[in-house]
Each structure stands twice: as C-alpha cells, then as structure tokens.
Amino acid sequence: MKMSRKKIAILVAVLLILAAVVIQAIWRPFAHRKATPTGEVVLDIRHPDAVIDSEALSRLPRDILRVPLLHDVLTQDFVDYYEAANTRLSAEGTLRRLAFEHHLDWRDELMRRVFDEPAHVLLWRSPDGRLGYWILSVRRNGLAKLLQGIGNVAASDTQLSQVAKLSGGVPVYALKLAVGRTLLFATKDDRLVVLSAPGVLLDEKGGLLGERADAVSDMLSSGRDDAARAYSLDAQTDTPKGHRLVVSANYLSFGYQAFFSGIDALRFDFSPNGNAATSWRTSALIQPGKLPQRWNSADLWRALPANAAACTSLPADWKEASALLGKVADGGDAAAAIGDGLTGPAAVCWYAKSTLVAPVFVARVKAQDAASIASLKTALGKTFGDVIGAYEAKAAKAQGNDADYRRLPVTMREQGAGVTVWQRPVSARSGTALSSKASFASQLSAERYFPVTLALAHGYVIFSPDARLVDDTLAVLDKRYPALADTLAAERLPRTILTLVPASAAALIEREAGAALPADQEAIFRNASRTHLTPKLRALAHYPPLSLTLPQSLPGSTGWVPVEWWFERAKGDAGSANAAADAPVDQPGTEGD
C-alpha cells in the first residue's frame, strides 16, 4: 500500500524518537534529569569519555548478565529496570497514540527492530558528572527514502524544525520531545546521527560550532570519527558483532588522572559466540613510559595487611600528585619534596573492620639514605599539620579565643628505629572512633572522630583516617601480622593490580548501608535496602576471592593489554566448585595454580 506524505513524515518522526529512546530510555543513567541547556556544552568532540559499539543496544543489559558474578548480583531486575523505565514506557504510549490518531498501519515489531539496530555512541560527562551528553550514529537500511519528505514536515510542524545546515547543504533538525528536552538529528544517504542536546552542535545564537559540525559531517559521510584514534582502536565496521564498551580512565577516576598515570582507558568486549564465563573480555589501554616501575606492585602487597575487603594498585604520577597537594597545602615546597621522595605505584585498601570512608594508603620511599629520609620526614610533618584537621568549636573555647581557627594538636611519636607516626583527631559523625573513649573527649565537637594517622616506616609512607589500619600495616612491616601477599599467588604478585574478597566487601557495604539509613530516620529506604540490596550482597559473598592481573610483560609503546580475572583457590578447599575457578575467568582453557 502506498503511503501518503503525511504518514511517511509521521513514521519518520516515530523512528527518530525511537532512536533517541535507545539512549534516553534504555540507557537511563546517560539521560538528562535537568533541562537541556540552550548554550554550547563543554566537551572535546575528538576525545569522548566513553564509546559504545553495539550490534543491538537493547541486548546489552541482558548480555552483561551473562557474567556469572553479575548475574547473581544484578539479577533480572537489572534488565527489567531498563526495559520498564518511565521514559521508555511514556514514549511507547505516545507512539501508540500517534498511530491511533493518524491511522498508521504499523505494529510494535517496528519498535523492536529499531532497538535492535547496530549503533555507535559517543558519550561525554555533563556538569553533574554523569555521561549526560552523547552522539548516536546508526546506519538504517531504507531510511533515506522515508526521510525524503522531512523538510516539508519541518516547515509546518510545532515539534520538528530545521535549525542549521552542515557542509554540502545537509539539514540539521531539532525534535522537541518535552519542555527543556530537544534532540538534534541529521541524515545523509542511509546514515542517521542523533545528538542529545542542541548545545552539542550549536552555540548560544544557534550557529554551528565549526569543529563539531565537521565531525558530524564526517560521521554522516563515512560513519567514522576520532574516537578510534583517541583510544587506539581498530575502526569498527558498520555491523559490529557483540558489544564494545570503552571508558576513559580520566572519567573513572573523577578527574584524578595523576593517580592513574599510564592508564588511558578500560575496554570491555562481548563476543556472542563465547560461553557464559568467557563472553566478556577486559583490556586496559597502557602507556608503558608513564607507568612507575612498570607497575610492579609486589612490594605494596607485602606491606599491606591481609584480610582486605578490596585493594587496588595506583600507578601514580608523583610529580602531578604533589602539584595537586601543593594547591591545598600552605606551601608548595613541602608538597614538592613529598612528590620527589616517593616512587613506584601506590595502593589503597578497604577493610571490613573499618569503614568505606577510611581506607589505608601505602606508597614506597625513593631514597633510603639518612639525609633523604630526614628531608621527607620534615615535609610530611609540615604538610600533615597544614592539611589535616577541622575547626573544633569546643577546642577553640577551651583555648579561650573563639575568634581563632582552632584544631586539636598534632602528636608525633617515634616507634623504634626508623618509624615516625603523626596523628590528629578530627571530629566527624562518620568517624571510626567514639569520642567518649578519648582522653580529649571534652574538646571534640561530635560523638565520633577520625584518628587521622600518617606514618613513615621502613621505606614506606602510610596514611589512613583510621589509626587501626596504620597500626596493622606497621605490624606487617615488623613481621607481627600476615601480609596481603601471603594470600596471593606468588608468580602473579608483581602484576596484580586489584584484589577483592566478596565476603568481606559485602559485609562492609551492608554495614555501611545500615549505618547510613538509621531505622528512626530512614525507615523506608532502610526497608528497601534490606529487600533489594542485602540479598544481592549475600549472593556476592558466596564467591571466592578475586584478583585482576596484567600480563607479565608489557608492550614497549602505547597499546591495549588484556586484564585477566582470577578466582583464587582457597587453601584446603581444592575439591570445591569455587576452587576449580583458579584460572582467568576470561581466558578459557588456561591452567590454574
């Protein structure tokens, strides 16, 4: 049956709305919760924060659940959430209304086919820190014919209008979905590009932003963009197999790239031909020249206490980190001396005996001669006194001068040869120690406090808001407490970059959730936590310890390297099902220890 021009136009609008829903509804975390700004948005068009290449975006949530651990933790609710999101349901209702009012002869299968189209998505962070800005590129067979009459519709439609023209006279249209939410789209031949907000392409006056306009024109002409070059990727074909997700390390580190020197991005590849355990593979984009000591973390694992809930090694750039420290310290000289005195990667660990806000940090000292240690010791003591602490109203009153900014004093003690410990109490409702048990309780401003502690000992610098974790680390260095290295495979020790003990991590998170949701103040959220979060945490707790490792040898230049996931075999538990998992979970056929 030949379709009229009006029906073609309406069907085109339907397809465009559905393409938008792929991102706005199915990928709800990437959607805007606030009104879309009318001015230019800040982003680097040549270097997105994340990239998704998918054979079918609608299948991505279900394919994520093919990872056994994620399947047990996320369950079917993860898929149902995206398939039953309010935005998608309201969009489908609107489309059905349009079909009814305009007597369109199409079925719900049309929506499913649109969701199943191959897609290439570039994403950038928005001011609230989420991946709120995006560009979606798809290739639609036969779409060009449907779009031939779109210009006539835009001339008279209240929701659809032409707002600009790209090179070659390609029109750019704005589709208003709701108040404060407008999408832009452009088509050429059989390609369609959709943008999440006008400010991604247009300035405040509605003019094209030159570099971004050129990028969109290239995407329409060739389907290519600079994301492949930015992340050293092979150019993706128009019909990708499975999924490929790339996220920049700068985005994952909340901008603290100085603590992740040498890591540019993480990549997750899904192959539809793999089994449940091997469908997903993980890679890291490494710049070997920026990795401290080639990211050898063995010394750190030998210094940290055993029984950690989670630990990760950080390939820190100490020069950049000291510059950051200098911005919050009174003087930059001491911060620079600290940066010059440290070397290699750092490590951070969380323990179930403490809290999520009080991990322990460990780093190696560069030089071991007496003069260098003395210089570093002076810089650490000064910086600790300058940076650590908060205003204590009662302490100020006790000193008899309310006008002064008053903090509790820093105590310094020598614990044997080569061990110096600094400590300052800081009042906080979420502190790890009870104020009532402290000798200085009358000067504290809250019922709890952090015994913030820094130590220089045996070639290591140790820091934590919880003094107990520093004491445990000192005990490891004195051979009085087991080290984390004792629980890891010796041959993988240098290249282990992350460890996780699901049972300890689950217990820590469950306890922290309970503390954050007191029964007398947050009864509704506490009940929701018990109903939905607690069962998933307990499912997670049944998994054996997990570690991530890099290859034993790293490439000589920037490139992607595989990240192997290992389930550690528990001692004395070789016959259990979990023990059999002592091999890389994304490397089928590899022998375990």
DSSP secondary structure string, 308-353? -SEEEEE---HHHHHHHHHHHSS-HHHHHHHHHHEEEEEEEEE-TT
pTM of the model: 0.76
Report angle CA 289, 548, 255 to the nearest 5 degrees. 55
- pLDDT score for 588: 31
Q: What is the DSSP letter of 383?
A: H
The angle, 0 to 180 degrees and rounded to 10, between the axes of the packed helices 370-387 and 332-341 is 130
Using one digit for the tens of pLDDT, what is the confidence trace for 56-73?
777 777 777 777 667 666
Residue 255, Ramachandran bin (φ over 0: left; ψ between -120 and 50: alpha; else beta)? left
For residue 24, what pLDDT is reported?
A: 38
Q: For 132-184, what is each residue's pLDDT tens digit?
A: 899 988 876 544 444 444 555 555 556 678 899 999 899 998 877 666 678 88
Give the whole-angstrom CA distance, residue 326 versus residue 315.
20
User: What pLDDT, in 10s, does the model give residues 2-18?
Assistant: 444 444 333 333 333 33
**275/459: higher pLDDT:** 459
pLDDT category, 415, cuts 50, 70, 90? confident
Locus of tokens 């630990």: 311
Share of the chain above pLDDT 90, in %: 34
Whether the CA torsion 228, 229, 234, 236 is positive or negative: it is positive
Provide the pLDDT confidence category of residue 250 given band limits of 50, 70 and 90.
confident
Domain edges within the chain: 5-249
403-407: average pLDDT: 70
For residue 100, what are the CA distances in angstroms to 6, 93, 113, 176, 401? 14, 11, 20, 21, 76
Q: Above 60 in pLDDT, residue 102? A: no
How far is residue 491's CA from residue 373's CA, in Å, rounded to a whole number? 32
Q: What is the pLDDT of residue 145?
A: 44
CA distance 108 to 16: 15
Q: Is 436 exposed, middle or buried (0-12, 13-18, 19+ CB in 10 A)?
A: exposed
